[in-house]
Amino acid sequence: MDAASPANRLPHELLAYIFTICAADISDHHPVSMIHLTHVSARWRDVALTTQSLWGRITLTFPLSPWQFSYSSAYLKRSGSYPLELLWDLRDPSWDWDEDAHTIGWKEMENVMRLFMPHFTRWRSLELLADNWIPIFAFLWYSKDVRNGPLLESLSLSRCNAYFANPGQTFQPVALRKSMSLFGGIHLPSLRRVSLVGVHIDWSAPCALRNLTQLDFKYFACDVTPTLAQFQSIVEACPLLSSLSICGRGPDIGDVSQHSNQIQLPALQSFSLGFIDTTYAIGLFSLLRMPNLQRLVIEDISKILSPSYNVDASPLLAWFCSNGIDADTEDNDTCQCLLSKERVQDLELEGVQAPKEQFRSFLRSFPSIRRLSLTDIADDLLSLLVSGVEANPSEPQAGHLLPALRELRCQDVNAETLIEAVTSRTQSNPHVPLQASLKAVRFLPPPSGTLLYRRLDNAGIKIVEDI
């Protein structure tokens, strides 16, 4: 680079700051982008190599190669004492679901752990994505003897195989079913966010799962879930837990009628449940007390497991209407109902199926909803949002369903019905704007310039591209 270039006359600190902004803008954490900075000029190389924050984000992707280990070693050295943000994506797009035939085995994961474990005291976040169980097992094994992890704030371990959430499905491979404590059971003082997707640990020694603010339990096999008592111990150790997500199977609740204790979650603001069968969903909901909940997500994940599944959510929605919701209460610490209907302002429904009238009763239970997200929902539900008595001439108040609604986010729904709903609500109350969007994932979005595209645009509905 020309020494007289304006970029080359920037002060060292300013140039380093610009590099840091560039590093933060690299969405895929790819190392090549940072290495390129060291090949522009001698001065840029000097600035980059002495700016530790540029080298703290390290990504490994399938297939693992000597080159990846080489650049990772360079990053670890150049980052100095700076905290590390790690992403290890070991998924093979062409994997044939044969556990023993996966390219990522014990030896490959052992090499990863031997490289990164000496720097464990610098870990700030780790996301590990794997197809098979061996990399997860190796991670738990090689991390069980750590003594201190003062900086670790976020941990996500995912065995990306929803198959194990099928009803009655037990853990495989049986030989590696052994439960191990997370990081040997030590207390990690900074850990606040944990996501375990198809990854079980020794639930009887969950010392690392303390003081969390976010916890995700997803896609467990039926024989490795925590007991209800173990789950309750975990959440009781997290008094400031504000976000909880359970997908497929959470704690083993057994016979709900035998449990007298309620699980109090006074700080919880967001709860997400992906259900397979409504019986378990109702049983779990009946045990939870979330008086300060503001965001509720209900998702039917059965079709992820098998396209032939067709779950009627009517029992769950009916239970909400009759048992799950109470008016606002001043004594939130001893709330006897699932949640307070006046506090919930954000509702998300995905793939949920039920008769129209059941949906009507369910939505009426949430008069304070301001943001509604609908994904893969039948026209019947969407038509309930149409303002005016035309929605149901026999019920004059039907046009006032969700009167506080200000934002409507839809994905893979009927565009015509959405236009009708948004237009009617806008016309009935032009002084209260309704922000609406439509995202197409399973279907192609309407091409720009077509009549449907123009009608969506005229109705003020933003078309969101799936990237």
Give me the CATH number covering residue 131: 3.80.10
pLDDT of residue 150: 96
- Beta-carbon contacts of 418 under 8 Å, excluding residues fewer than 6 positions away, are 382, 408, 410, 436, 438, 456, 461
- Residue 285 to residue 267: CA distance in whole angstroms: 16
Q: Using an 8 Å Cβ cutoff, are 22 and 51 in contact? A: no
Burial of 406 (0-12, 13-18, 19+ CB in 10 A): middle
Q: Is residue 261 part of a domain?
A: yes
Residue 144 in tokens: 């069980």
Q: What distance lies between CA 222 and its chain's CA centroid?
A: 21
Q: Is residue 62 part of a domain?
A: yes
pLDDT, averaged per 10 consecutive residues of the chain (467 residues), comes to 62 71 61 64 71 86 94 92 96 92 95 97 98 97 94 98 90 93 93 97 88 97 94 95 95 78 92 94 93 96 84 93 62 62 93 93 92 92 73 48 93 93 87 89 86 93 82
Residues 285 and 347 placed together within one structural domain of the fold? yes
Q: What distance lies between CA 91 and its chain's CA centroid?
A: 18
Question: Measuring CA to CA, which residue among 314, 220, 54 is closest to residue 298?
Answer: 314
Q: What angle do CA 462, 465, 467 make, to 5 degrees?
A: 150
Which 8-state DSSP code applies to residue 166? Answer: S
Residues 436 and 312 placed together within one structural domain of the fold? no
Q: Is residue 390 part of a domain?
A: no
Question: Measuring CA to CA, which residue among 316, 323, 318, 322 is closest to residue 299?
Answer: 316
- Residue 261 to residue 287: CA distance in whole angstroms: 8
pLDDT of residue 52: 82
Q: How many CB atoms lie within 10 A of CB 127?
A: 17
Sign (positive/negative) of CA torsion 255, 256, 261, 263? Answer: positive
Tell the residue number behind the tokens 């944990």, with chain if given.
Answer: 194
Residue 201 in tokens: 């640990």
Tell the residue number behind the tokens 């079913």, with chain if given.
Answer: 177
Question: Measuring CA to CA, which residue among 409, 353, 403, 348 is closest to residue 379?
Answer: 353
Q: How many CB atoms lie within 10 A of CB 113?
A: 16
Q: Is residue 268 part of a domain?
A: yes
Residues 228 and 271 placed together within one structural domain of the fold? no
C-alpha count within 13 angstroms, C-beta hemisphere, residue 390: 10
Total residue count of the chain as it appears in this document: 467
- Residue 344 to residue 347: CA distance in whole angstroms: 7
AA identity, residue 180: M
Residues 291 and 231 placed together within one structural domain of the fold? no
Burial of 144 (0-12, 13-18, 19+ CB in 10 A): middle
Residues 207 and 299 placed together within one structural domain of the fold? no
Residues 125 and 225 placed together within one structural domain of the fold? yes
Count up the domains in the chain and report the number. 3
pLDDT of residue 24: 66
Which 8-state DSSP code applies to residue 263? Answer: E
- Beta-carbon contacts of 244 under 8 Å, excluding residues fewer than 6 positions away, are 214, 215, 216, 235, 265, 268, 270, 271, 272
Tell the residue number behind the tokens 């035309």, with chain if given.
Answer: 390
Q: Is residue 343 part of a domain?
A: yes
Residues 133 and 259 placed together within one structural domain of the fold? no
- Residue 268 to residue 245: CA distance in whole angstroms: 11
Residues 348 and 455 placed together within one structural domain of the fold? no
Residues 92 and 221 placed together within one structural domain of the fold? yes
Residues 60 and 178 placed together within one structural domain of the fold? yes
Burial of 28 (0-12, 13-18, 19+ CB in 10 A): exposed
Residues 130 and 209 placed together within one structural domain of the fold? yes
Kind plus residue range of the DSSP H or E element containing 197: strand 193-197
Which residues span the domain enclosing 153?
Answer: 56-237
Residues 176 and 312 placed together within one structural domain of the fold? no
DSSP 64-86: P-HHHHHHHHHHHHHTTTS-EEE
- Residue 225 to residue 370: CA distance in whole angstroms: 35
Question: Measuring CA to CA, which residue among 115, 50, 40 is closest to residue 79?
Answer: 50
Kindly calculate the radius of gyration of the chain based on its CA atoms and give it in whole angstroms: 25
Q: Is residue 388 part of a domain?
A: no
Q: Is residue 212 part of a domain?
A: yes
Q: Using an 8 Å Cβ cutoff, are 241 and 219 in contact? A: no
Q: Is residue 438 part of a domain?
A: yes
pLDDT of residue 378: 86
